[in-house]
Structure 1
Amino acid sequence: MDSRPLDALRQPAYTGENRCLPCTVVNVAIAAVLAVAAGRHNRAFGLLVAAVAAVLVWLRGYLVPGTPELTKRYLPRRVLRWFGKDPLATVSVDPERGFSDPEELERTLLDVGALEETPDGRDLRLTDGFAEQWTAAMADVDPATVEERLATALDCDAENLQSRGEGTALLDEFRPVAQWPSDAALVADVAAAGLLRDRLDGWDDLPTAQRTVFLNGLRLFAEACPGGEAVETSSEVVESCCSQMDVFVVRCADSGQHLLEQPVE
């Protein structure tokens, strides 16, 4: 029997020892649904669909094009752990210590694969994988429920989130403990909180203020705004009734919404 037609279909990168078990399970489930749907009208056709799908999964490792990348991006890490395919490091955090030290915060974000050094070793940036996941997660956030979701992510009362001009502040007995300069910043933090929760053992035990430190620190490296809008940075002078302050700003290039306002000493 000539095996050349089958060889053309094989994908060694995703079969044999390289087979991604979560991908296989997901695709077998999809194939089963398709076969059942087809079999409702014609049993023989349903069996044919099942057979063809099984052969494709066996030869290629997957049925739906792009499955390996889709699985990495969208399949929950708790599911990946069932198959021993957790692609990211998990770091334990101590709720009692806190993260007031920027260097310690950056080391933690490096350890969990959110940040990496730039090629020249002089700075840090988001890893490609985290940046893609963050952008995708932002697209799933409904602006209408963003404050409610942020309160859940921070384990605080939504009533403590109050509008302050164009931004939002988190109050603790009328004292602001965290601030967001725009709705875009709220969306970015809701999306980032879900990603960090998967990567940091002990996230659920962190006090609200410490969670905001993580999220604020991550926004410093943001490469995209909600909707995929590019970001730009600049330095500005912010004035109040009795003082002025130099501020490093990360903003959305088109809308002008600020993702971050970081005082510069």
Structure 2
Amino acid sequence: MTSFLDRLRNPDHTGERRCWPCTVTNAVLLGLACVGLARRRSRTLAAALGVGGVAAIALRGYFVPFTPRFAPQLTQRLPGNVFHADAGEDREQRHAPDSPGSLGGETDEETGEAVLQSLLERGVVVADGETLYLAEDFRDEWREKVQALRGRDDRGLADALRESAPEETVTEIVEQDGGRFGEAERWFVVSDGSGDPAREQWLTRPIAVAEIGAVRALADSTSLSATRRAQSAGALRMLLETCPVCDGPVEETTEVECCGGPGGTRADAPDDVLACGDCGSRLYTFQ
């Protein structure tokens, strides 16, 4: 049975999704407010404010109104990278990029327009004015492929990535420290085997599952070439409505690891991203 405290608690900003820098900031502001109130008005009122503020921070994540709205914009103006525990630490020579890559690699504007036109002509994507959405038949087929991939172990998923790539590729499984909650992050690296970082694409497991599923669905339902299928997979992620690994809702948010956001490593200008509202997996980065 759900307790009264559980009903008050906001899971978006507490537990594993708690933003500790914002929590500390709220606690400091609460302390200052209590001290000021005790000196100017009443210690009783200050104590009441302290108890209420601590309860709000514990159960809701913050007590300063609208903290989740202004905190990400505020933190990007601060010097350094105070919102990440690994700020200023030396990284290994080979490390994951700021944003996950795609099986089809980076595409320029001309290629992106050609990919979209191909998807529209084949009925994979439907346009309603300026809004794009997936055709229902393709969405169902893509979901079916994704569900079949979820249970694969890492090696099996890496093999599926290699099979879905447009050319002969090398796939690696790379594990690095520095995840959002301090855990190791596992990446699937697709490359030409040259060792050149510019020729590598680093994919997270959710993105790998989504893109392999998209490539397979496109192979079954269209006559697109292998190269075009791989290029299309990254674009199709922009139209995801549910997470490929947990079926949670996909929401537009920011990459800043603040107030329950999906996390990130850049402090200069946080990107807008699509991320799972349940597990926090980042699924698409808007450029």
SS in 2 for 1:249: strand
Kept after mapping to 2: 8 A contact 1:150/1:190: yes
What is the Cα deviation at residue 212 of structure 1?
3.6
AA partner of residue 170 (structure 1): V
Q: What is the Cα-based RMSD across aligned positions, in Å? A: 2.7
| 2:131 is the alignment partner of 1:123 | yes
Q: Report how far residue 168 of structure 1 moved.
A: 3.0
Change (3 A) 1:114 1:202: closer
Post-superposition Cα deviations, 1:102-140, rounded to whole Å, max 9, x if no partner, equal 22211111112211113xx12111112211111111111
The residue type equivalent to 1:124 in the other structure is L
Candidates 220, 234, 246, aligned match of 1:216: 234
CA–CA separation in structure 1 for the residues paired with 2:160 and 2:135: 25
Q: What corresponds to 2:169 in structure 1?
A: 157
1:143 maps to 2:156: no
TM-score by length of 2: 0.48
Q: Indicate the residue corresponding to 1:188 in structure 2.
A: 210
Equivalent residue, structure 1, for 2:190 = 170
Q: For 1:253, which of 254, 277, 280 is the aligned residue? A: 277
Question: 1:134, 1:192 within 8 Å by CA — same for their partners in 2?
Answer: yes
Gaps of 5+ in 1: 1-97
Alignment: residue pair count: 158
Deviation at 1:239, TM superposition (A): 4.5
Helix, strand or coil: the match of 1:196?
helix
Q: 1:200 to 1:130 in 2, by over 3 A?
A: closer
Work out the CA distance in 1 between the residues paired with 2:200 and 2:285: 12
2:223 is the counterpart of 1:201:
yes
- Offset of 1:185 from its aligned partner? 0.9
> How far, CA to CA, are the matches of 1:231 and 1:249 in structure 2?
10
**SS at structure 2 position matched to 1:105:** helix
Which residue is 2:13 aligned to? Answer: none
> Structure 1 residues 169, 159: CA separation in 2 closer, same or farther (over 3 Å shift)?
closer
Partners of 1:187 and 1:213 in 2: CA distance: 15
Q: Residue 60 of structure 2 corresponds to which residue in structure 1?
A: none
CA distance in 2, matches of 1:255, 1:134: 20
SS in 1 for 2:241: coil
Contact 2:172 2:188 in 1 (8 A): no
Structure of greater Rg: 1
Is residue 198 of structure 2 the alignment partner of residue 179 of structure 1?
no
CA shift for structure 1 position 149:
0.6
Letter in 2 for 1:143: R
By how many angstroms is 1:158 displaced? 4.2
- Return the TM-score normalized by structure 1: 0.51
The amino acid that maps onto 1:133 is E
Which structure: greater helix fraction?
Answer: 1
Offset of residue 166 of structure 1:
4.4
Distance in 2, matches of 1:122 and 1:159, equals 37
By relative contact order (CA 8 Å, sep 6+), the higher-ranking structure is 2
1:233 alignment partner in structure 2: 252
The one-letter code of the counterpart of 1:131 is: R
Deviation of 1:201 (Å): 2.7
1:134 match: 142
Report the alpha carbon displacement of residue 188 of structure 1 after superposing the two structures with TM: 0.8
State the secondary structure of the residue aligned to 2:283: strand
Aligned residue identity for 1:147: A
Q: Given that residues 170 and 191 in structure 2 are in contact (C-alpha distance below 8 angstroms), is that contact kept between their aligned partners in structure 1?
A: no
Stretches of structure 2 lacking an aligned partner (at least 5 in a row): 1-106, 177-184, 257-263
How do 1:23-62 residues align onto structure 2 when only pairs under 5 Å count?
none
Moved more, 144-153 or 172-181: 172-181
Does the C-alpha gap of structure 1 residues 150 and 181 become closer, same or farther in structure 2, counting only changes over 3 Å? closer
Shift of 1:192: 0.7
Query: Is the partner of 2:279 in helix, strand or coil?
Result: coil
What secondary structure, in the 3-state scheme, does the structure 2 residue paired with 1:168 have? strand
In structure 2, what is the equivalent of residue 110 of structure 1? Answer: 120
Give distance in 1, aligned partners of 2:232 and 2:122: 12
